[in-house]
Amino acid sequence: MPRGKAKVLPALFSIAVFILLEMASLNMLSSDSSVQGLWISRAGHHVMMTLWGSSRSISYYTSLKETNQALAEENVRLRLALEQYRDGEDAESREELSDALIAEYKPQGFTWIPATVIKIGNNSQHNYILLDKGSEDGVTTDCGIITGSGVVGIVEVVGEHYSFALSLKNTDVSVSTRLGIDGTSGPLTWDGIHPSGARLREIPLQNRFSPGDTVYTSGHSSIFPSGIPLGTVGGSRIVDGSTYEIEVNLFQDFSNLRFVTIVKNTGRDELSALERKAAEKGL
């Protein structure tokens, strides 16, 4: 055996044993203590964010064509909206239209932070997204992530320059939604099987809906603004004889997700403080 190889192999073996023993120890810690487990998990996510952040430019360069097309389509949509605004006949109708546009494009009480997807997992039950914006850009945990096609995920861990988010295609993520603009609210989760399939649960039997009805965010949580369209109603079934479970076909295509918007509730600290005070008073 060559001399160099004879030195390298034992060194590699030592490193492998070291990694194995450390992983075993950390795994024991994670499974035994939730505080340490969370810390280790977050540290792991930070490492992942750094690793993937440095390699994103290459993969984006290869898909500039699709990106340009998506941006061009969004440009057309915004131009049409602008034309509609300019064509408003009187001040009153223009104001109404302005309010509608603000409601559509920038709900009050939320700040928007544009971000780019560094990496996205789509092949497991617990998919995640890495974004190129972090605490220095104003991102905090529990910020929502949306696109023009609906909800994408929720920020879970924030680093200085990157964020780790749970994708909507993660069976642990639940979004408060409602059927139609004025419909009943219920939690929506990914069905865990289809790339664009989700389930809306806890819809009372007296509620009427039809296939093709749109499902929107309810705005009942402090994560997402209300009225963001998520998908359309497909089939349904009755669960335990008491509520409907509705299949939802999501608008969002996660396979070519690139540019997203992080929505941050500016009043969440105040809301949390209120909730804490209420809890302290036993309400």
DSSP 137-182: GT--TT-EEEETTEEEEEEEEE-SS-EEEEEEEETT-EEEEEETTT
Q: Which two tokens stand for residue 73?
A: 């389509």
Query: Which amino acid makes up residue 113?
Result: I
Binding status of residue 21 toward another protein by CB under 8 A: yes
282: left (phi over 0), alpha (psi -120 to 50) or beta: left
Please report how the helices 34-53 and 3-32 are oriented relative to each other, as an axis angle in degrees rounded to 10.
Answer: 140
> Judged by CB, which is closer to another protein: 25, or 125?
25
CB of 37 to another protein, least distance (A): 9
Tell which positions 240-279 bind another protein, by CB under 8 A.
Answer: none
| Given 9, 12, 14, 205, the residue binding another protein (CB under 8 A) | 14
* Main-chain phi, psi angles of 175, to 5 degrees: -120, 135
CB of 145 to another protein, least distance (A): 24
Tell which positions 26-65 bind another protein, by CB under 8 A.
Answer: 26-29, 32-33, 35-36, 38-40, 42
- Total binding residues toward another protein, as defined by CB under 8 A: 21
Largest CA distance in the chain: 88
CB of 19 to another protein, least distance (A): 10
Binding status of residue 18 toward another protein by CB under 8 A: yes
Binding site for another protein (CB under 8 A): 10, 13-14, 17-18, 21-22, 24-29, 32-33, 35-36, 38-40, 42
